[in-house]
Structure 1
Amino acid sequence: MIYITGDTHGDFTRFSAKRLRRTGMELTKEDYIIICGDFGLCWAKDKTFEYHCKNFAEKPYTILWVQGNHENYDMIGEYPLEEWHGGKARHIIRDKVILLERGQVFEIDGKTFFTFGGASSHDIQGGILDRQTVDFAEQKRRADRNYLPYRILQESWWPQELPTEGELQEGLRNLERYHYEVDYVITHCCASTLQDRINAGTG
Structure 2
Amino acid sequence: MLNLARLQRPHNKDANDCAGFAANKTAIFDFIYRKVKFRPNLAKIALKFKSKREKMIYLCGDTHGSAELHKITNKAFLSQNFTREDYVVVLGDFGLFFSDTPNERLVRERLGRLPYTLLFIDGNHENFDLLYGLPTEEKFGGKVGVGGENLFWLRRGEIYEIDGRNFLAFGGAFSIDRAWRRLNVNYWDAEIPSQSELNFALSNLARFKSAGGKIDAVLSHTAPTFLMSALSDLFLGGGAIYDPTTDMLERIFELAKPEKWYFGHFHADRKISAFGCEFHLCYDEILKFYSKLP
What band does the TM-score fall into relative to the shorter chain?
A: 0.7 to 0.9
Question: How far apart in 2 are the matches of 1:2 and 1:202?
Answer: 21
Residue identity in the other structure for 2:188: W
Check conservation: 1:81, 1:89, Cα contact below 8 A: yes
The structure 1 residue matched to 2:230, chosen from 193, 197, 202, is 197
The structure 2 residue matched to 1:173, chosen from 196, 200, 203, is 203
Question: How far apart in 1 are the matches of 2:84 and 2:162?
Answer: 14
Q: How does 1:18-167 map to 2 (within 5 A)?
A: 18-21=75-78, 25-94=80-149, 96-124=150-178, 127=179, 150-167=180-197
What's the CA shift string for 1:116-175, capped at 9, x where partnerless? 000011113xx3xxxxxxxxxxxxxxxxxxxxxx11011111000011111111101111
The CA deviation at 1:198 is: 4.9
Question: How far apart in 1 are the matches of 2:113 and 2:231?
Answer: 39
Question: How far apart in 1 are the matches of 2:88 and 2:61?
Answer: 10
The CA deviation at 1:52 is: 0.9
Q: In the comparison of the two structures, how many residue pairs are matched?
A: 176
**Helix, strand or coil: the match of 2:71?**
helix
2:71 counterpart residue number: 14
**Helix, strand or coil: the match of 1:35?**
strand
Check conservation: 1:175, 1:181, Cα contact below 8 A: no
**Helix, strand or coil: the match of 1:39?**
coil
Residue identity in the other structure for 1:166: S
Check conservation: 1:68, 1:117, Cα contact below 8 A: yes
**Helix, strand or coil: the match of 1:33?**
strand
Question: How far apart in 2 are the matches of 1:5 and 1:63?
Answer: 11
TM-score under structure 2 normalisation? 0.56
Give unmatched runs, 5+ long, in structure 1: 128-149
Question: How far apart in 2 are the matches of 1:118 and 1:100?
Answer: 12
TM-score under structure 1 normalisation? 0.80
Give unmatched runs, 5+ long, in structure 2: 1-55, 234-271, 275-294
Residue identity in the other structure for 2:96: L
Larger CA Rg, structure 1 vs 2: 2
% identical aligned pairs: 36
The structure 2 residue matched to 1:183, chosen from 216, 222, 231, is 216
- Greater relative contact order, per chain length (Cα 8 Å cut-off, separation 6+): 1
Question: How far apart in 1 are the matches of 2:201 and 2:208?
Answer: 11
Question: How far apart in 1 are the matches of 2:76 and 2:145?
Answer: 28
Question: How far apart in 1 are the matches of 2:193 and 2:166?
Answer: 21
- Give the aligned CA root-mean-square deviation in angstroms: 1.9
What's the CA shift string for 1:14-68, capped at 9, x where partnerless? 22251315xx633222210000000011012222122112211111111101100
After the TM superposition, which segments of 4 or more aligned residues of structure 1 sit over 3 Å from their partners?
197-203
Question: How far apart in 2 are the matches of 1:156 and 1:13?
Answer: 23
Change (3 A) 1:198 1:89: same
What's the CA shift string for 1:89-116, capped at 9, x where partnerless? 100113x110010001001100000000
